[in-house]
Amino acid sequence: MSRSRRLLAALLACTALCGGAVLATGSLQSASAARAFGNDPFTDVVDAAARTDRSCSISNNGLAALVMAVTWEETGAGTGPPSPMTLSRYDTASGLYFESNPNSTYRRAFWHAGVGMWQFDSAGLGAPRYAAHFISTAGGAPAAASAMADRYCAAIDGGFTGALARAAAWRPWNACNDGTCESIFAEIYNGQTGQLRNISGTSAVGSRGGMVSRVCGRGGSTQVFAPCFYVDPALAQGQDWWAAPNAGRSPITFPFYVFESGGYEYRVWLREDTGFPFDVEATRPLGQNARTSLTWHRSTALCAKVSAAQTFCDVSPNHPFFDEIEWVAGEGIASGYANGDFQPLAAVSRQAMAAFLFRLSGSPQSPAPPTTPSFRDVSRSHAFYREVEWLVRRGVTTGYADDTFRPLNQVTREATAAFLFRLAGSPNMPPPPAAGSTFPDVPRTHPFWRAIEWLVDEGIASGYANGTFRPGTAVSRQAMAAFLRRYDTNL
Amino acid sequence: VLGGVATAVAVLGVGTALVLGGGAGSGETDLPALPPVAEREPETYGADGCSEVGEDLPADCGTTAGELDAVLAGPPGDAFRTLEGFSGPRWTTELQRDRLVVLDDTVREAAQGTWSASGLVRNETSQPQGDVLVQARLLDAAGAELAVVEGDVPVSPVRSGEPAPFVLDADDPAVAAADVASVEWTVLGEPVEEGEASAARALELTTYWTEPAAARTPPISVADHEDPPTGPGPHLVFGSVAGLEGADVEGPRVVAAWIGQDGRLLHEVQADVVAVGGAEALDHLGDGDLGDFVLVLDAPDTDELASAELVLWAVGS
């Protein structure tokens, strides 16, 4: 059966067997007493139970109930939906802290040893795999089902039955130590009918519980991209009490990326998520306890992308100028740096501006650049000689009075206005505003007043919230991308 | 003292090798690696070694089954390894000394009170060794013998390249630690057939959880352990032992040692393997059988243990 068909079947089963149906069949349980569980995690558990080999007689639903019963206790979810992303907050072993130092300034680069709805821990059943495998209920449910089936059947073989055999199956999950899991089992499973019951499904909790799929590359310009996952406690689905800063003995981690490669689990905290002055990477050999096996590094060359289609490591689809930056990249107007970054906040130099405008105009082959340079600081061997000379011939720039172009100087907002205005052919202006000027810091006497008014009128740029234009402010690469995109679109 | 120990080991070790009938010379030994994970978990891995996570999700190829096998067996050197009947560091594939040796950098000696010592020995011969015995000849500052203390190594057989723990106490007659100026170590053993050793150790160890020493509500009752009804309970480690293909183990037990951050042995305890769900020690563990164990460590230093490395041996006869 395909996943989608199984999901439908599971949802129908839940409709028929869980909270609502309980009332229909006269159960004493009320709908409000039902235990919540994510629809997709529910499907994963049911799937895992159906696929798990076992050497004794236990029904698929019985095994599914066995698997689910521990999750509310292990995650402290009460009767709410257990969070697949749950990160343990109990353990404060020094090895789990950045550089094994609990007093570190960077202590929120913290390695949570127990992960997921079944709290797989690297000291135990979680040792052979990485966090994302167990956060995903598609990975955690089969592992839990397999371990519980083995132990349940071993107990049955040893002469134990019923509650004793179930207690044996749950022994690796210490939260069941007080017998609560047996009560939950009886609550969610009808041993007489063999049906699951009293479980209310919710679509608000997915299989990954808010963990986000990403594509990560390492190794600078020679990066090989592979799947990775972004774990941000703030995005946790289900009961997320554990994500609160004061919810446990250990710190709650800052968002991190997790992936496995070549037998190692990697967790990476990027400075953009932590505010630290460096990126942090921790590595665990699979099979070993994180408390005594982590290796910490202060920097990394991780490039995390939402998808392979994302061009730059540091410009995700959430970036306010994502579309504009992707557009300038796609049009070949701007490219990134060797490490895969675009550096959107970096300033634009005049030589880069020349290149951008040249490419925006289609990288024209004519007129050919002159044999005699127009500027004494942009020689024929200059990397942007062709582009700067093209700018001169189009009348976009004249340089400075001392015959220099000053190619490395930062481009200001007023200069950008002038460049684009001239590139557009210095068009005639509409009537000026009644006040004479749109911006108090760009009066009519300003040398670039006309160009700035035109820029705003064409919708290429706008002013700041306080009504100013700040003409002398340097232009960032992200702002330039936006200007160029609007220029292309609006003109 | 440690310099003396190292020298004594080097000198006496030659004699030990002769007692054992001599080794095949220095060389390398194979690791008793666990069966490939793709065989142990066929439902998890596809033909390409990638793990399958749901039918409609892409296979996870970040670490293939083969790569996981390699990292579990461990890289060359003293790195942590997960093998048949063993998990921990200090197992070597390079048999440099061709004898049973005390790993002097793992030895912790009492600084005061009655002399005692604990540490690891290692079998650097090419054959498994059974009934391994550690002897410490305690000498005073003048070189006079104070006592000869000996103790059995609880792991038997000790396979080629394998470390094993020992604990010695000079309490009968009592020797004050302050009087001991140097120690001469001797390690003795009896060669064991390879097949016999393999059958006795074809076990897979899994730990499930650790509970630091503390008062617990409710008290923990697991396997053959019950917490005291009041007051702090001991440090607990709960896990299981599974019989692998070829396993034929009488009286299965688990031996555990904690190695401190300084690399020296902190504690050593043993536990019976009991029936899953029960408290009775198992007489036998064969292929496909499963048993539980609980390690109980009374009054340990919680902080020290939290950063200590746990080494486990599954043994039997």
DSSP labels, B214-274:
B--SSPPEETTEE--SSSPBPEEEEEEEEE-TT-EEES-EEEEEEE-TTSSEEEEEEEE-E
Q: Do B209 and A124 touch (CB under 8 A)?
A: yes
pLDDT computed for residue B249 by the predictor: 92
- High-pLDDT (> 70) share of chain A, %: 91
Residue B308 DSSP label: P
Q: Do B277 and A158 touch (CB under 8 A)?
A: yes
Q: How far apart are CA A170 and CA A63, in angstroms?
A: 12
The answer to whether the beta carbons of residues B293 and B271 sit under 8 Å apart is yes
Nearest CA to A143 out of A175, A113, A120 is that of: A120
Report chain A residues whose CB lies below 8 A from the CB of B43. Answer: 51-53, 142, 146
The nearest alpha carbon in chain B to A48 belongs to B54
Q: Which of A148-152, A293-297, A331-335, A433-437 has the lowest mean pLDDT?
A: A433-437
Does the pLDDT value for residue A224 go beyond 80?
no
Nearest CA to A111 out of A225, A275, A279, A281 is that of: A281
Residue A222 DSSP label: G
Residues A43-94: tens digit of each pLDDT: 999 999 999 999 999 999 999 999 999 999 999 999 999 999 999 998 888 9
For residue A7, what pLDDT band results from cuts at 50, 70 and 90?
A: very low
Report chain B residues whose CB lies below 8 A from the CB of A264. Answer: 63, 71
Find the Cα–Cα–Cα–Cα dihedral A315, A319, A321, A326, rounded to 10°: 40
| Neighbour count for residue A274 (Cβ, 10 Å) | 18
Q: How far apart are CA A439 and CA B74, in angstroms?
A: 68
pLDDT computed for residue A434 by the predictor: 64
Which of residues 25 through 84 in chain A touch B, CB cutoff 8 A?
44, 47, 51-53
Each residue's pLDDT, cut to its tens digit, for chain B (317 residues) gives 222 222 233 333 322 322 333 344 568 888 999 999 999 888 888 889 998 876 667 788 889 999 999 999 998 888 899 999 999 999 999 998 889 999 999 999 999 999 999 999 999 999 999 999 999 999 999 999 999 999 999 999 999 999 999 999 999 889 999 999 999 999 999 999 988 888 889 999 999 999 999 888 889 999 999 999 888 999 999 999 999 998 889 999 999 999 999 999 999 999 999 999 999 999 999 999 999 999 999 977 778 888 899 999 999 98
Mutation site, B55, B90, B206, B209, interface A, largest A CB count within 10 A: B209
Residue A127 identity (one-letter amino acid): A
Report chain B residues whose CB lies below 8 A from the CB of A291. Answer: 306-307
End-to-end, the C-alpha distance of chain B in Å comes to 36
pLDDT computed for residue A223 by the predictor: 66
Q: Sort strands A199-202 and A35-38 into parallel, antiparallel or unpaired.
A: parallel
- Burial class of A297 by CB neighbour count within 10 A (0 to 12, 13 to 18, 19+): middle
Does the pLDDT value for residue A405 go beyond 60?
yes
* Backbone CA torsion sign across A127, A133, A139, A144: positive
Does the pLDDT value for residue A2 go beyond 60?
no
Does the pLDDT value for residue A446 go beyond 60?
yes
Facing residue for B54 by CB, picked from A44, A178, A263: A44
Tokens representing residue A6 in the block: 């199984």
Q: Do A207 and B307 touch (CB under 8 A)?
A: no
For residue A356, what pLDDT band results from cuts at 50, 70 and 90?
A: very high
Residues A379-400: tens digit of each pLDDT: 999 999 999 999 999 999 989 9
Is A286 near chain B, with CB under 8 Å?
A: yes
Tokens representing residue A26 in the block: 């006269």
The answer to whether the beta carbons of residues B29 and B95 sit under 8 Å apart is yes
Q: How far apart are CA A175 and CA B252, in angstroms?
A: 28
Interface A–B counts its CB contacts (< 8 A) at 136
SS (H, E, C) A63-102: HHHHHHHHHHHHHCCCCCCCCCCCECCCCCCHHHCHHHCC
Q: How far apart are CA B275 and CA A158, in angstroms?
A: 7
Collapse the DSSP code of B295 into the 3-class scheme (helix H, G, I; strand E, B; otherwise coil) and give the result.
Answer: strand
The number of helix segments (H) and strand segments (E) in chain A equals 16, 13
- Burial class of A465 by CB neighbour count within 10 A (0 to 12, 13 to 18, 19+): exposed
Residue B12 DSSP label: H
A290 phi and psi angles, rounded to 5 deg:
-60, -30
The number of helix segments (H) and strand segments (E) in chain B equals 5, 21
Facing residue for B53 by CB, picked from A138, A165, A263: A138
Q: How much is the average pLDDT of A461-486?
A: 94
Report chain A residues whose CB lies below 8 A from the CB of B204. Answer: none
The nearest alpha carbon in chain B to A287 belongs to B72
The nearest alpha carbon in chain A to B275 belongs to A158
H or E element: which one contains A482?
A: helix A477-490
The answer to whether the beta carbons of residues A91 and A250 sit under 8 Å apart is yes
Q: Do B306 and A93 touch (CB under 8 A)?
A: yes
pTM across the whole model? 0.80
Q: How far apart are CA A295 and CA A95, in angstroms?
A: 9
Does the pLDDT value for residue A334 go beyond 60?
yes
Half-sphere exposure of B178 (CA within 13 A, CB side): 2
SS (H, E, C) B31-61: CCECCCHHHHCCCCECCCCCECCCCCCCCEC
The answer to whether the beta carbons of residues B107 and B263 sit under 8 Å apart is no
Q: Do B290 and A289 touch (CB under 8 A)?
A: no
The nearest alpha carbon in chain A to B82 belongs to A287
The nearest alpha carbon in chain A to B58 belongs to A227
ipTM, interface predicted TM-score of the complex: 0.88
Tokens representing residue A486 in the block: 């609007």
The nearest alpha carbon in chain A to B218 belongs to A178
DSSP A92-159: --GGGSGGG-TT-TTTTS---SEETTTTEETTTTTTTS-HHHHHSHHHHHHHHHHHHHHHHHHHHHTT
Average pLDDT taken over every residue of chain A: 88
Q: Do A292 and B44 touch (CB under 8 A)?
A: no
Tokens representing residue B222 in the block: 């697991």
Residues A134-179: tens digit of each pLDDT: 999 999 999 999 999 999 999 999 999 999 999 999 999 988 888 8
Q: How far apart are CA A472 and CA A179, in angstroms?
A: 71
pLDDT computed for residue A222 by the predictor: 58
pLDDT computed for residue B204 by the predictor: 96
Facing residue for B206 by CB, picked from A100, A125, A286: A125
Facing residue for B53 by CB, picked from A136, A177, A293: A136
Q: How far apart are CA A18 and CA B226, in angstroms?
A: 38
Is A214 near chain B, with CB under 8 Å?
A: no
Distance from CA of B208 to the nearest CA of A (A): 4
Tokens representing residue A394 in the block: 């189009």
Q: How far apart are CA A391 and CA A422, in angstroms?
A: 10
Buried b / exposed e along B275-310 (16+ C-beta atoms within 10 A) = bbbbeebbeebeeebbbbbbbbbeebeeeebbebbb
Nearest CA to B264 out of B309, B312, B200 is that of: B309
Facing residue for B209 by CB, picked from A172, A226, A288: A172
* Backbone CA torsion sign across A468, A470, A476, A482: positive
Q: Which residues pair with A283 in a beta bridge?
A: A266, A295
pLDDT computed for residue A416 by the predictor: 94
Does the pLDDT value for residue A25 go beyond 60?
no
Residue A163 identity (one-letter amino acid): A
Facing residue for B63 by CB, picked from A4, A260, A288: A260
Instruction: Please state, in angstroms and as integers, the Cα–Cα distance from residue A401 to each residue in A354, A404, A411, following that order.
Output: 18, 7, 17
Q: How far apart are CA B285 and CA B275, in angstroms?
A: 10
Q: Which of A57-66, A214-223, A297-306, A403-412 has the lowest mean pLDDT?
A: A214-223
Q: Do A291 and B240 touch (CB under 8 A)?
A: no
H or E element: which one contains A291?
A: helix A290-293
The nearest alpha carbon in chain B to A162 belongs to B277
Does the pLDDT value for residue A250 go beyond 90?
yes
Collapse the DSSP code of A43 into the 3-class scheme (helix H, G, I; strand E, B; otherwise coil) and give the result.
Answer: helix
pLDDT computed for residue B41 by the predictor: 85
Facing residue for A158 by CB, picked from B211, B278, B306: B278
Report chain B residues whose CB lies below 8 A from the CB of A150. Answer: 290
Residue A264 DSSP label: E
Q: Sort strands A256-261 and A224-231 into parallel, antiparallel or unpaired.
A: antiparallel
